[in-house]
Chains A and B, each alone.
Chain A
């Protein structure tokens, strides 16, 4: 009953083409942002902020990056973690080697370096598609981790390849408390998500989707396939790169190249598959699912079933349930959680009188 668009007339194309054309959605998103920016930092514990929410936001951003490439432009990639590594190590080196480098600029430059690397490894996409392209991006995954380990210059000659992120200081303010870090990450992620949404609803996003759905027709319409694909690689890698920098600076503090291994790439890929391929919101839902569910299951097993299960089962139960849920969701809705949400909204519009 609450979710009705009856009576909301649109008198201009601008009104019809805003990001959230339905008033309830607008209010909902504003409320969500208000909660995230104001309520959460006031009440969330340090563990929640540091361990869970920052991690969730960083992974959302990485998933968003991969979703631009795979979900919108239709190019399969297994190199997201490597692009995150480029972002993290590039930001670190910009901060290290240039005096007075502003932090945000270092993040942006880290993202740009990742974008350049992304374009280079995106070149095979001009000739190959699908699984074969995924294998080509796998090369990026292994090569980048290898070179970051091998060339010690990247980690400022630290013996193990580990880098320790510098303090985060913007205009003299030091982002040291979990609240401050959380708010910084949240602001960056919110702005970049908005920009991704804008691209998705403009002609660049339509060009990506056209290339994804039917590339021959896209070319005949006048879309430059090469430009569109490489732009998707660049933008996607930029997002992953910034996510990598935040992963190093705001979440972990110290990272090593091996931390950005294939497992992490797969994790991000699972996020978009479960969350919804080709959906901005899906990236967030998928990240929430992958990041939060294991923690939730852990707590559940420890607190509720303590003593009831032998420890060998209890420690594996979480993994079993997690795997089972992934399969369940993929069978019920192969288009991901975002699609489920959309169906729910469509139903809700007519509820409780669907006829």
Chain B
């Protein structure tokens, strides 16, 4: 990694507990994310990894615990407010807008930055027109970056799975987030697609300095690209540290990694 400098804590989660009725999804989980780092969350299925991301960007509201983002403690937050603060995410099951083209999908990523009212847009004059062009330019940079120029006018429903994942990443990046939450960005991909995706994630982290929180099952990938790893099991934190520390943690081996043969 080149000039990337890991900075101070940007997101701090303290004693987070989340329940759905009687089901405890998360129990007393604390960890932090530092600026510019790649932070992985791993664990077996149902460990609460996706719930953790949903807590971070305000889809779920934990019953207990404190979340501090950029030094500000957050009580209750709606997802669109998290987006305004610079938190973007992708989903485990692709959540693209199927009826729209790639370009339109990526353009929606910049929606929080568009200020023209719908009346100006109806007239397509002045600020509305100017904004469309400015944001198109930014969006084209993202499209270039992720190498999806050739499909920009294709409806996303027609694209193969791997490309759809990439478009989803493009949509998240278009918002120029300071923090990017990736929910299994490499699930269901073949080795080449995984390598591409790894390269893009590292490039994003390196070139834009974006902090990345990542859920992934491929241990090879996780150990290669992340700076620190947190391990969840049954909604509890069982390990936290650098990949090497986590790899040698007894409890993590027992719950998730398994012993080598």
The residues of A with any CB-CB pair to B shorter than 8 Å are 12-14, 16-17, 195-196, 198-199, 201-207, 209-210, 212-214, 216-225, 231, 235, 278
User: Chain A's nearest CB lies how many Å from the CB of B108?
Assistant: 5
Quick check: is B170 within 8 A (CB to CB) of the other chain? Answer: no
Q: Is B100 positioned at the interface, with any CB of A under 8 Å from its CB? A: yes
Instruction: Please tell me which one of the listed residues A14, A206, A212, A235 contacts residue B107 in the complex, with CB atoms under 8 A apart.
Output: A206
Contact residues in B for A201 (Cβ distance below 8 Å): 124
Q: Is the CB of A203 within 8 A of B116?
A: yes
Residue in chain B with minimal CB distance to A199: B122
Identify the closest chain A residue to B157 (Cβ).
A213
Which among B78, B97, B124 is the interface contact of A214 at CB below 8 angstroms?
Answer: B97
Chain B residue at minimum C-beta to C-beta distance from A74: B99
A202 touches B132 (CB 8 A): yes
A221–B110 alpha-carbon span in the complex (Å): 8
Interface centre among A203, A207, A210 (most CB of B within 10 A): A203
Q: Which residue of the partner chain, among B83, B97, B107, contacts A220 with CB atoms under 8 Å?
A: B83
Q: Are B118 and A14 in contact (CB under 8 A)?
A: no
Question: Does B136 touch A at the CB level, under 8 Å?
Answer: yes
Also in contact, A202 and B83, with CB within 8 A (given A210-B97, A221-B111):
no
A17 to B99, Cβ gap below 8 A?
no
A221/B175 in contact, CB under 8 A = yes
Assess whether B45 is interfacial by the CB under 8 Å rule.
no
Known interface pairs A210-B97, A221-B175, A224-B80; A198-B123 also in contact (CB < 8 Å): yes
Q: Which residues of A contact B112 (CB under 8 A)?
A: 221-222
> Which chain A residue shows the least CB distance to B156?
A213
Which residues of B does A touch, CB under 8 Å? 57, 59, 78-80, 82-84, 88-89, 91, 95-100, 104, 107-112, 114, 116, 118, 121-124, 128-129, 131-133, 136-137, 140, 171, 175
Q: List 18 A-B contacts (CB under 8 A).
A: A14-B133, A195-B122, A198-B128, A199-B121, A203-B110, A203-B111, A206-B107, A207-B108, A210-B97, A210-B100, A217-B95, A217-B96, A219-B59, A219-B80, A220-B80, A221-B88, A222-B83, A224-B80
Q: How far is the CB of B196 from chain A (nearest CB, A)?
A: 23
CB nearest to B57 among chain A residues: A220
Taking CB as reference atom, which chain A residue is nearest B98? A213
Please give the distance in Å from B107's CB to the nearest CB on chain A.
6
Closest to B58 in A: A220
- Contacting pair B96 A202 (CB below 8 A): no
Using Cβ atoms and an 8 Å threshold, which residues of chain B touch A220? 57, 59, 79-80, 82-83, 88-89, 95
Q: Closest chain B residue to A224 by CB distance?
A: B80
Q: What A residues does B118 contact at CB under 8 A? A: 199, 202, 204, 231, 235
User: What chain B residues lie within 8 Å of A204 (beta carbons)?
Assistant: 118, 121
Q: Is the interface of B mostly helix, strand, loop or mixed?
A: helix
Interface of A is mostly: helix
What is the count of residue pairs linking A and B with beta-carbon distances less than 8 angstroms? 113
Residues of A within 8 A of B128 (CB): 198, 202
CB distance from A340 to the nearest CB of B (A): 17
Contact of A221 with B104 at beta-carbon distance under 8 Å, contacts A14-B133, A199-B122, A204-B121 already known? no
- B84 pairs with A222, CB closer than 8 A: yes
Also in contact, A202 and B175, with CB within 8 A (given A212-B99, A217-B95, A221-B108): no
Which residue of chain B lies nearest to A16 when distances are taken between CB atoms in the complex?
Answer: B136
What distance in Å separates the Cβ of A236 from its nearest Cβ neighbour in chain B?
A: 12
Alpha-carbon separation in the docked complex, A212 to B96 (Å): 11
Closest to A198 in B: B124
Q: Are B171 and A221 in contact (CB under 8 A)?
A: yes
Measured between beta carbons, the chain A residues less than 8 angstroms from B175 are 221-222
A204, A216, A218: residue with the most chain B Cβ atoms closer than 10 Å: A204
Known contacts A198-B121, A220-B89, A224-B80: A214-B109 contact under CB 8 Å? no
A231 to B122, CA, bound (A): 13
Besides A14-B133, A206-B107, A222-B79, 8 other A-B contacts (C-beta < 8 A): A13-B133, A198-B128, A203-B107, A203-B110, A209-B97, A214-B98, A222-B111, A225-B80
Task: Across the interface, name the chain A residue whose C-beta is closest to B139.
Answer: A13
What distance in Å separates the Cβ of A191 from its nearest Cβ neighbour in chain B? 10
A239 CB, nearest partner CB in chain B, Å: 11
User: Which residues of B have CB within 8 Å of A222?
Assistant: 79-80, 83-84, 111-112, 175
- In the complex, A207 Cα to B79 Cα: how many Å? 15
| B109→A221 contact, CB < 8 A | yes
Contact B99 A209 (CB under 8 A): yes
Q: CB within 8 A of B97: which of A195, A217, A235?
A: A217
Within the assembled complex, what's the spacing in Å between the Cα atoms of A210 and B79? Answer: 15
**B122 — which chain A residues lie within 8 A by C-beta?**
195-196, 198-199
